[in-house]
Amino acid sequence: MKLPGLSEFSWRDVATEARLLLIGIPVFLWTMIPIYHMFLFAISPKEDAFSGKLWPDHPTLHNFGIVFKQQHYFLRDFYVQFWNSTVIAASVGVLTLVVATAAAFSISRLRVPGGRIVMNLALFTYFIPAAFLAVPMYRTMGNYGLLNNHWSLILAMVTIASPYAIWVLKQASDKLPVELDEAAVMDGATTLQIFRLVYVPLMMPSLVAIGTYAVLLAWNEYLYAFLLLSNDREITLPVALGNFLAADDSPWELLMTTGFIYALPPAAVYYAFRRYMVGGLTAGAVKS
C-alpha cells in the first residue's frame, strides 16, 4: 500500500466527509424535529408555544409542575392512568413470557404432536394486521363481559404479542443442541427440571428481548386501549393523551408535556436493552 501524499489524502477525505454530512444533517433534522417540537412545548409557557418560537423566551418547568400536581381538568387522573399503563405493560410482559416460553419449549424441545401446525397458526396471526383484529376483538370482549376491565387489554395484547414471541423463541431454542436435553434425561432430570434448570437459563438473552418487546408493545398501544377501555380511571396514558383532542381549546403545552413524560420510559427501556433488542429481534424479524 502506497502512502498517499498529504494534500491529496485530505482533499479526498474532506470531499467524502462532506458528502456524508450532506446526508447526515437532513437525517438528523428529520429525526429530531417532531421530538424537539414536543420537548419545546413541554418547556414553553403557553404564549411562547403558540407563537411559533424555536426557543422560548422564558423556558420553564412549570408545565411539568402542573402535570405532576394534576392541576388541570385533563390531568386529574394522571397518576392513576400512569399506574394503569405500568400495570398493564408489566402484566403483558410477564404473561407473554410465560405463554410463549412454554409454547416454544413444547414445540421446539418436546416436539409435541401438532406443534408445527400451532406454530403456523401463530405465524398467521402475527401477519394479520392488528387493526383488522381489533374490530371483532372489541365485540368479543363485550361478549366475555370484559369491556372497561384491564384484563381485556392485557389479554388482547398477550394475544398480539405471543405469536412473534413464540416464533423468535422457537428459532432461538432450535439452535440449542439436542444433546443437552439427552444428557439431562440420562441424569434422571424430569421434563420440568429440564425446562427450569437447562432451558430457561440458556434462553435468557432471548427472554429478555421478548419481555422487553411485549412490555413496549403494551405500553405504546393506542388503538386497543382506546377501544377496550373508556372509563377515565381505567384508561391508559395514550388514551388520555388522545382525549385531550376532544376539546377545541386543548392545552397543547400540557398535552406535549404529558406525552414527553409518557415517551421517556419506553425510550429508556429501549436504550437500556438495545443490545438484546438488536440481536434478538431484528435478526428474528426477517430471515433472508
Contact 225, 238 (CB under 8 A): yes
Give the nearest distance from C-beta 65 to other proteins in angstroms.
19
Using alpha carbons only, give the angle 154, 148, 135 rounded to the nearest 5 degrees: 75
- CB burial of 85-98 (b: ≥16 within 10 Å; e: otherwise) equals bbebbbbbbebbbe
- Cβ proximity to other proteins: between 73 and 127 the closer is 127
Give the nearest distance from C-beta 285 to other proteins in angstroms.
6
- Cβ proximity to other proteins: between 107 and 210 the closer is 107
Phi, psi (degrees; rounded to nearest 5) at 176: -70, 135
Give the nearest distance from C-beta 265 to other proteins in angstroms.
9
- Cβ proximity to other proteins: between 88 and 103 the closer is 103
What whole-number distance in Å separates Cα of residue 87 and Cα of residue 9? 58
- CA-closest candidate to residue 161, choices 229, 105, 209: 209
Q: Which three cell numbers stand for residue 264?
A: 421517556
Residues in Cβ contact with 253 at an 8 Å cutoff, skipping those fewer than 6 apart: 41, 42, 44, 45, 46, 49, 63
DSSP 8-state class, residue 83: H
For residue 141, count other CB atoms closer than 10 A to its CB.
21
Give the nearest distance from C-beta 21 to other proteins in angstroms.
9
Q: Which three cell numbers stand for residue 159?
A: 394475544
Give the nearest distance from C-beta 61 to other proteins in angstroms.
18
- Cβ proximity to other proteins: between 52 and 201 the closer is 52
- Cβ proximity to other proteins: between 204 and 278 the closer is 278
Give the nearest distance from C-beta 7 to other proteins in angstroms.
22
First to last CA, the chain: 36
- Cβ proximity to other proteins: between 6 and 246 the closer is 246
- Cβ proximity to other proteins: between 79 and 144 the closer is 144
Give the nearest distance from C-beta 71 to other proteins in angstroms.
20
